[in-house]
Amino acid sequence: MNLRQTAIAIGLIGALGCGGVQAAEPADWSAVPATTVGLFYPGVSPIEWIVNGSAHGGWRGLKRGDSCLECHSEETGDMGKKIVSGAKIEPSPIKGKAAAIPVKVQAAHDGANLYLRFTWKQPPASGAPAMDKDNPVKVAFMLEANQVERADLSGCWETCHQDARTMPEGNKDKTKYVEGGSLASGVFYDLIQWRSNGEKHDGYIAEKRVMDGGTALVDAKGEKQGDTWTVTFTRKLTGGEGDVALASGQTVNFGMAIHDDSATGRFHHVSLGYRLGIDAEGDIQAVKQ
Ligand code: HEC
């Protein structure tokens, strides 16, 4: 190694080293267990619809403590079909839009970082005009540390409201928010997003949605090979403002969304709520590498 190479090597060690722990995603992702998460097109089903007993037959069960996943895990594909066609809770259907996107989710950690890898097959394009011209695809996930009431049952739905800006009766100034949310009191969802134009965001949702300012996100990268997308996130276990602090032995709430087909706002595909365990029980488990 000459002097210049040595300098580069030291620089690299400095960049990767985090308190002496090297940040590296699993060398062999194929050895990491995968969970298939059924994302579906949710139409107009904000939390106000979910908790309206005469609109949603599941409300009584949810009140008793059943989760969305317990009732619906086997039928997300059918739900998506019904909704995307306009047969139910979608007043302005987009012809040709995918009903559902099954995503393979893998999770791992190395004591310093959480690694999340999402793999899915690109559905056919609808051919409708692009809503987001810069990004054919955006991928987001949320983490919640059992502080938002009911989030262990309902996943991201606590952030989805009928007055959000792209809802039929939306308020142009409102995005996602949590009823009773408070960053200061720790009642929030951590939000991380990757966009196909290469942008990445580390924000949160409490009183309102904030896209940036978190310090947990280390990297987010994605690529399409053939018709298969692979998006990988590297996130420090702990971060700063609006970052859920993760630790071994803990289970948090997890939900994800894909804005496929150049979508914006509510025109995304979403998952039901899952439990993510860090060396702990959960629907998805991040096992130490
Ligand atoms: C106790 C079981 C149960 C729970 C818990 C439950 N649901 Fe439902 N849900 C139903 C049933 C039954 C229907 C269909 C009939 C209806 O709409 O009343 C339904 C319908 C829906 C629909 C409309 C699509 C369709 O196939 O009719 C959506 C969307 C939905 N539920 C989302 C959710 C979400 C999100 C949650 C959690 C926040 C949830 N449900 C919790 C039972 C449940």
Per-residue pLDDT of the chain (289 residues; tens, 9 = 90+): 555 555 455 444 444 444 444 568 898 999 999 999 999 999 999 999 999 999 999 999 999 999 999 999 999 999 999 999 999 999 999 999 999 999 999 999 999 999 999 999 999 999 999 999 999 999 999 999 999 999 999 999 999 999 999 999 999 999 999 999 999 999 999 999 999 999 999 999 999 999 999 999 999 999 999 999 999 999 999 999 999 999 999 999 999 999 999 999 999 999 999 999 999 999 999 989 8
With the most atoms of ligand 1 within 8 angstroms of its CB, the residue from 72, 88, 144 to mutate is 72
Query: Is there a contact between 227 and 201 (Cβ–Cβ < 8 Å)?
Result: no
Place of tokens 């310093």: 112
User: What are the distances in angstroms from CA 20 to CA 99, 115, 243, 261?
Assistant: 46, 18, 22, 42
Q: Are 222 and 194 in contact (CB under 8 A)?
A: yes
Distance CA 188, CA 287 (A): 25
Spell out which residues line ligand 1, taking CB within 6 angstroms. 42, 45, 50, 56-58, 61-62, 66, 68, 71-72, 79, 82-83, 88, 154, 157, 272
Residues 134 and 235 sit within 8 Å (Cβ to Cβ): no
The CA distance from 79 to 137, in Å, is 22
Distance 3 CA to ligand 1 centre (A): 64
Residue appearing with tokens 């914006």: 264
First-last CA distance in the chain = 30
CA distance 123 to 110: 33
Token representation of residue 75: 């039928």
User: Cα(157) to centroid of ligand 1, in Å?
Assistant: 12
Residues 6+ apart with CB under 8 A from 147: 185, 186, 187, 188
Which residues are CB-contacts of 74 (< 8 A; sequence separation ≥ 6)? none
